């Protein structure tokens, strides 16, 4: 996958890129050496951008319409929610085409806590998250979200975000490509999401 083959949206052109050409979202955690860890959120930055109602990719203020990207369980289960905040249209769709976690045809393993320097920062693991990559990603457009607050290590913070329903648009993506699915295929994805989320909860 060559990230340079996909034009960077103008909203993201101020972002620094890593050596491979991947734009570094503003909420990505950087270790003390400045190395970005793409599958780890900087929790301080995540909280700040949620409270400022700004995009977790480019860092600028969101519009009324915003996009959420995640697995089918987050999108369709009645208790589904998202860790990452809403994004601009162009930021979300750039990520769906370029981000290795979202767009690579194969992703052998998650590069999460294993990429961190030993004991640099404690990480919080959410036991309700499904740890494997979904076979299909869902991008949905909505006009707002509800913050779900909780306590982590004695601190009150936003744990999850629940997009406002009904959704204005729903898209299905795999390997960096938008899918055109039949009604039966969509129903099957939703049914599987319900079953997986119920088992996890």
Q: What is the pLDDT of residue 156?
A: 93
Mean pLDDT of the chain: 86
* Interatomic CA distance for residues 187 and 201, integer angstroms: 21
Write out the DSSP string of 36-60.
Answer: EEEEEE-HHHHHHHHHTTB-TTT-S
- What is the percent of the chain where pLDDT is above 70? 85
Residue 140 · residue 75 · CB < 8 Å: yes
Q: What is the pLDDT of residue 163?
A: 97
Contacts of residue 109, defined as CB under 8 A and 6 or more positions apart, other chains included, come to: none
Q: What is the pLDDT of residue 62?
A: 97
Say if residue 70's pLDDT is above 80.
yes
Q: What is the pLDDT of residue 131?
A: 58
* Interatomic CA distance for residues 34 and 107, integer angstroms: 24
For 125, counting Cβ atoms within 10 Å of its Cβ (0-12 exposed, 13-18 middle, 19+ buried), the class is: exposed
- CB-based contacts of 27-34 (< 8 A; 24+ apart in sequence): 27/56, 27/57, 27/84, 29/121, 31/116, 31/117, 31/120, 32/117, 32/120, 33/117
Q: Which of 194, 12, 184 has the alpha carbon at shortest distance from 89? A: 12
Domain that holds residue 139: 3-200
Considering the entire predicted model, what is its pTM? 0.87
pLDDT tens digits for range 1-43: 677 889 999 999 999 998 888 999 999 999 988 899 888 899 9
Strands of the chain, DSSP E: 28-30, 36-41, 66-70, 137-142, 145-152, 155-163, 169-174, 177-179
- If one counts the domains in the chain, the total is 1
Q: Which of 181, 98, 91 has the alpha carbon at shortest distance from 136? A: 181
Residue 113 · residue 31 · CB < 8 Å: no
* Interatomic CA distance for residues 65 and 91, integer angstroms: 13
pLDDT tens digits for range 130-163: 557 888 999 999 999 999 999 877 889 999 999 9
* CA separation, residue 198 to residues 61, 79, 114, 185 (Å): 35, 10, 29, 20
Q: What is the pLDDT of residue 200?
A: 63
């Amino acid at each position: 996958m060559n990230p340079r083959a996909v034009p960077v949206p103008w909203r993201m052109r101020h972002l620094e890129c890593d050596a491979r050409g991947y734009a570094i979202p503003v909420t990505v955690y950087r270790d003390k050496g400045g190395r970005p860890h793409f599958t780890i959120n900087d929790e301080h930055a995540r909280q700040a951008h949620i409270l400022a109602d700004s995009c977790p990719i480019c860092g600028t203020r969101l519009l009324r319409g915003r996009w959420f990207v995640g697995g089918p369980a987050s999108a369709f289960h009645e208790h589904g929610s998202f860790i990452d905040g809403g994004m601009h249209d162009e930021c979300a769709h750039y990520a769906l085409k370029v981000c290795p976690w979202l767009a690579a045809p194969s992703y052998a393993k998650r590069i999460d806590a294993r990429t961190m320097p030993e004991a640099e920062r404690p990480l919080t693991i959410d036991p309700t998250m499904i740890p494997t990559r979904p076979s299909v990603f869902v991008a949905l457009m909505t006009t707002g979200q509800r913050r779900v607050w909780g306590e982590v290590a004695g601190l009150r913070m936003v744990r999850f975000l629940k997009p406002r329903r009904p959704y204005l648009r729903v898209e299905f993506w795999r390997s960096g490509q938008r899918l055109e699915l039949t009604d039966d295929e969509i129903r099957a994805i939703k049914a599987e999401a319900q079953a997986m989320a119920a088992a996890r909860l």
